[in-house]
Amino acid sequence: MASTEIAHDFSPLLVVYKDGRVHRLAGNELVDPSLDPLTDVESKDVVISPETAVSVRIYRPKPTAQPHKLPLLIYFHGGCFCIESAFSTTYNRHLNSLVAEANVIAVSVDYRLAPEHPLPIAYEDSWDALKWVAAHSAGTGPEEWLNGIADLERVYFAGDSAGANIANRMAIRVGSEGSSGLNLRGLLLVHPYFWGGKLIGDEEKLNPKDRMFIEKLWYFVYPKISGLDDPIVNPEFDPELGRVAAERVAVYVAEKDAVKNRGWLYSECLQKSGWSGTVDVVETKGQGHVFHLFNPTSDEAVDFIGKLAAFINAGHRE
């Protein structure tokens, strides 16, 4: 009989029982790839590593008489590293909307989740996905859609919450190690999931239980963490931050988001790091963490999708 004793309770995300069972409370509704009737965006799934089962969902907009290839968006989903999927209804809907609005081809990465696969596995899976994408730079990779449509000279990384954290790590790694065939033009960090050993801004006003939740969760998903000022958690202490490969960075924060101050701090640290690009912070008033995913048809969410698309479009018109 399965144990009902709880080892870790991170409701409303997940519960882990003492017998090792993991019960995810959100992000479990998955949807197959398809031709979306609302946006005319088509999607397909590809397993890029049979050994790890790491996969991607690729999206392409409605076919038109395009004279040129389309910019490529590589997306990393959120979910505190422990819930959600590139195949969930939430992210499938989000990518359909964003691909249609921005007129890009997109690769949404499905990395393995903690606690079964603690950090840094999500980063390694994401890096493997980038190398797989880069293999299409000469037009001879294994995936026809990328060979025929994607312009790897105009690449953008994006993600929300934990996915924004991953996108930042990937941009730094490209800058440090290189990724032959990928020209990273822009980085979009939506409500990035960072923290630190000392509270900043108005974080002291947060409910102590909410602060403790954030801090405990980091140790849960990354057991070998050196502390809350580990560079993975706190970019202020990342000596490699200045190696972000993107020419342009946009950081999106929300007024009522508990990690809002971390997005602003990221921008400040990036500007002081010796990085030579341009960074802007866009704050949405009156909204909370990933509001656009929870209420995707609201006027605020539709407007937000437009802002993300505008950032990409401005970059590939240069």
Report how far residue 98's alpha carbon sits from residue 6's, in angstroms, rounded to the nearest whole number: 39
SS3 97: helix
Active-site annotation holds for 316? no
- Residue 163 vs residues 43, 73, 192, 218: alpha-carbon distances, Å: 20, 13, 8, 14
132 in Cβ contact with 86 (< 8 Å): no
CB atoms under 10 Å from CB of 202, counted, come to: 10
Tally of CA atoms within 13 A in the half-sphere of 255 that contains its CB: 4
Give the Å distances, CA to CA, from 173 to 123, 194, 241, 247.
Answer: 10, 18, 10, 15
Single out the catalytic residue among 257, 267, 292, 316.
257
Catalytic residue (one of 161, 179, 238, 267): 161
Q: Is 289 a catalytic residue?
A: yes
**Would the CA dihedral through 133, 137, 143, 145 be positive or negative?**
positive
Catalytic-labelled residue, pool 94, 136, 191, 289: 289
> Hey, what are 114's tokens?
């903690």
| Alpha-helix runs per DSSP H in the chain | 89-102, 121-134, 144-149, 162-177, 208-221, 260-272, 291-294, 299-316
- In the residue annotation, 238 being an active-site residue is answered as no
CB 246 within 8 A of CB 223: no
Q: Residue 109, class by beta-carbon neighbours within 10 Å (0-12 exposed, 13-18 middle, 19+ buried)? A: buried
- Residues 200, 146: Cα–Cα separation, whole Å: 42
Other CB atoms within a 10 A radius of the CB of residue 210 amount to 11
Tell me the catalytic residues.
161, 257, 289
